[in-house]
C-alpha cells in the first residue's frame, strides 16, 4: 500500500518533538531500542455569562460520564444534591494529540470537565452562599498508539499515560471564596478514595473519587505553559491531579462562595479553564 505524504499536522508534530524524534531516528538506525519520553498537553478557557446546562441536561451528562469513567464519574459513589438547589453547569471536552499525534486522528487521552453551581442558602448577614463542584476525568484512548512515519520508513509507537489533569474556576466581580475542599494535598491512602463537601448550610454538596496513584493538589498555581491563558486577574480556585496512569483518573473538589446582598448577580463573571497532559515512551 502506498503511503500518503505527511500532512502539515504531521510535519508540525515532527517539528514539535524536535531533538527527541531526531535522536530516536538515529538510535533506531543504529539498532538501539532504548525508549524515548514524549509528552502532549492542552486545554481551553471560557468565560460564562451565567447560562449553562439545566438540571435535566446535567443529569444526562452525569449518566454519560458514569458510563465513560465508572467510579470516576462526577459524584463518584455519592449522590448529587436535589435538583431544587441546582443552578447551572458548564462542561468541556478535550482530546490531546488528536490532530498531530496518531495517523487515525483519534488522539491519545480523552478528558472531560465540568463545573456545577448549587445554591446553598443565605447567611444571617444576607450573603448568598453557593457551592461550585469542580470535576475532571481522563483516560487513555489506547494503551499504545502508532505515530506518523518518520523519514526512512520508521513508524514508532508510544505507550500512553495520563500525566496531569486540572480545572480552574475564576471569579471576576463581587464573589468571595469562603471555603474549599480539599484544602491541602491528597495522596493515595488505604481507603483508596477521598471525599469533598461543602459545609455550613442545610444543603450539602459532596462527592468522592478513587485515588490509587498520583497527587491531588488544590489551589495549586496554574503551571501549564500552553493554553488555557485568560489574562484575567480574578479570584478563583484551582484543583489538579498529577501522576502517571494507564487507566481512568479523575479529580474532584468543592469550593463555596459568598455574594453580598447588594451585589448584582448578573455582574459576576465566571471563567472556566481546563487542562490535560499525556505522556509516554516511543519504542520499536
pLDDT tens column, 235-282: 678 899 999 998 999 999 999 988 999 887 666 778 888 899 887 765
| Domain-located, residue 3 | no
- Mean of the per-residue pLDDT values for the chain? 76
Q: Which three cell numbers stand for residue 82?
A: 436535589
Mean pLDDT of 95-116: 73
pLDDT at position 15 is 27
Per-residue confidence (pLDDT) for residue 199, from 0 to 100: 76
Whether 210 shows a pLDDT value over 90: the answer reads yes
Query: pTM value?
Result: 0.78
Q: How many CA atoms lie within 13 A of 9 on its CB side?
A: 12
Per-residue confidence (pLDDT) for residue 212, from 0 to 100 = 92
Q: How far is CA 109 from CA 43, 112, 115, 142, in A?
A: 12, 10, 20, 8
Q: 251 pairs with which residues across the strands?
A: 136
Question: Omega before 161 cis (within 30°)?
Answer: no
In this prediction, residue 218 carries a pLDDT of 87
Q: Is 87 exposed, middle or buried (0-12, 13-18, 19+ CB in 10 A)?
A: middle
Asked if the structure places residue 1 within a domain, the reply is no
Q: Is the pLDDT of residue 5 over 60?
A: no
| pLDDT surpasses 70 at 49 | no
Task: Determine contact, residues 79/66, Cβ cutoff 8 Å.
Answer: no
Long-range pairs, 16-22, Cβ under 8 A, ≥24: 16/100, 20/282, 21/150
Question: Of the segments 15-29, 80-94, 138-152, which one has the largest average pLDDT value?
Answer: 80-94
In terms of pLDDT, which residue wins out, 85 or 172? 85
pLDDT in tens, 140-195: 886 655 555 555 555 555 677 899 999 988 887 788 888 889 988 999 987 799 99
Sign of the CA dihedral with 219 first, then 225, 226, and 231 last: positive
User: Which pLDDT band holds residue 45 (cuts at 50, 70, 90)?
Assistant: confident
- The answer to whether position 195 is within a domain reads yes
Is position 271 within any domain? yes
pLDDT > 90? residue 228: no
Report d(CA 172, CA 214) in Å as an integer.
31
227 within domain boundaries: yes
CA 115 to chain centre: 11
Cβ contacts of 5 within 8 Å, gap of 6 or more:
none
Higher-confidence residue: 205 or 22?
205
Tell whether 2 is covered by a domain. no
The more confident residue out of 14 and 35 is 35
The predicted structure's pLDDT at residue 270: 80
Distance of alpha carbon 90 from alpha carbon 235, whole angstroms: 19
Total domains in the fold of the chain: 1
- Give me the phi and psi of 281, to 5 degrees please: -135, 135
183 by DSSP, 3-state: which?
A: coil
DSSP helix/strand/coil, 14: helix
Phi-psi region of 19 (alpha: psi -120 to 50; beta: other; left: phi over 0): alpha
**pLDDT for the residue numbered 17:** 31
Residue 63: give the domain boundaries: 8-283
Residue 181, domain member (yes or no): yes
Please name which of 85, 248, 76 lies closest in space to residue 165, comparing C-alpha atoms.
Answer: 248
- Residue 68 within any structural domain of the chain: yes
Amino acid at each position: 500500500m502506498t503511503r500518503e505524504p505527511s500532512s502539515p499536522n504531521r510535519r508540525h508534530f515532527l517539528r514539535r518533538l524536535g531533538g527527541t524524534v531526531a535522536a530516536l531516528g538515529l538510535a533506531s538506525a543504529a539498532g538501539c531500542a532504548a525508549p524515548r519520553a514524549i509528552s502532549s498537553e492542552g486545554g481551553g478557557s471560557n468565560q460564562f455569562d451565567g447560562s449553562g446546562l439545566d438540571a435535566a441536561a446535567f443529569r444526562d451528562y452525569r449518566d454519560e460520564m458514569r458510563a465513560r469513567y465508572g467510579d470516576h464519574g462526577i459524584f463518584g459513589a455519592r449522590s448529587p444534591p436535589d435538583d431544587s438547589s441546582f443552578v447551572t453547569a458548564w462542561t468541556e471536552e478535550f482530546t490531546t494529540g488528536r490532530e498531530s499525534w496518531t495517523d487515525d486522528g483519534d488522539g491519545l487521552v480523552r478528558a472531560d470537565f465540568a463545573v456545577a453551581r448549587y445554591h446553598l442558602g443565605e447567611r444571617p448577614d444576607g450573603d448568598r452562599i453557593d457551592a461550585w463542584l469542580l470535576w475532571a476525568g481522563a483516560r487513555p484512548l489506547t494503551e499504545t498508539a502508532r505515530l506518523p512515519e518518520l523519514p526512512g520508513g520508521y513508524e514508532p509507537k508510544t505507550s500512553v499515560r495520563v500525566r496531569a489533569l486540572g480545572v480552574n474556576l475564576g471569579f471576576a466581580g463581587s464573589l468571595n471564596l469562603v471555603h474549599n475542599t480539599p484544602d491541602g494535598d491528597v495522596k493515595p491512602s488505604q481507603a483508596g478514595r477521598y471525599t469533598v463537601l461543602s459545609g455550613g448550610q442545610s444543603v450539602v454538596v459532596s462527592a468522592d473519587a478513587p485515588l490509587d496513584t498520583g497527587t491531588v493538589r488544590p489551589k495549586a498555581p496554574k503551571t501549564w505553559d500552553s493554553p488555557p491563558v485568560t489574562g484575567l486577574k480574578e479570584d478563583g480556585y484551582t484543583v489538579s491531579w498529577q501522576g502517571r496512569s494507564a487507566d481512568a483518573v479523575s479529580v474532584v473538589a468543592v469550593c463555596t462562595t459568598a455574594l453580598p446582598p447588594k451585589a448584582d448577580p448578573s455582574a459576576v463573571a465566571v471563567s472556566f479553564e481546563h487542562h490535560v497532559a499525556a505522556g509516554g515512551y516511543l519504542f520499536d
